[in-house]
Amino acid sequence: MGVRKRERAEQTKEAKKQVAVAKLNNCPTSPRKMRLVADLVRGQKVEKALNILRFSSKEASRKLEKLLLSAINNYQQKNADVNIEEAGLFVKEIRVDGGMMLKRLRPAPQGRAHRIRKRSNHVTIVLGDINNTQSN
């Protein structure tokens, strides 16, 4: 049992070296607006995704660009010997989930109040290595 467990742990360790993850929690943008930008870069190569985000006029693209740069940096720290241009990184997975909601009240006519929900989101980016993904 010990040998199999150790071998499996080594396999998962090697698999985790081929991907890089970055997370952004409680970003004060609605998930719907963030998903519009996330759909643009899903599955793209990293260089192309950075260009898309850099030249997009949406506010959410600035935050996603910073998050993508963080994921690239995480990959560099894991694999110091690999050159980023030669690695062939691409956006393997990008998830936008709903975060916490701030609930506020806005005055309405005749003494009533309307509830305002200020939404936030959680974004997770997973970068994969094209060379190692195709060989598996």
pLDDT mean values, one per 10 residues, the chain (136 residues): 89 86 96 97 95 96 96 90 84 96 96 96 94 60
Interatomic CA distance for residues 96 and 41, integer angstroms = 13
The reply to whether 81 falls in a domain is: yes
* Nearest by Cα to 84 from 22, 20, 15: 20
- Number of folded domains that form the chain: 1
User: What integer pLDDT is reported at residue 37 of this predicted model?
Assistant: 97
What's the farthest any 2 CA atoms get from each other in the chain?
73
Q: Is the dihedral of CA 91, 64, 24, 86 positive or negative?
A: positive
The predicted structure's pLDDT at residue 136 = 52
pLDDT at 14: 84
* CA separation, residue 135 to residues 18, 32, 44, 71, 130 (Å): 12, 35, 19, 22, 9
**Is the residue at 5 inside a domain?**
no
Q: Which CATH number fits the domain that encloses residue 130?
A: 3.90.470.10
- pLDDT on residue 128: 92
Q: Which tokens belong to 124? A: 């997770």
Does residue 97 fall inside a structural domain?
A: yes
pLDDT of 70: 96
Asked, for residue 6, whether it belongs to a domain, the answer is no
pTM, two decimal places: 0.86
Which amino acid does the sequence have at 22? Answer: A
Residue located via tokens 């998903």: 35
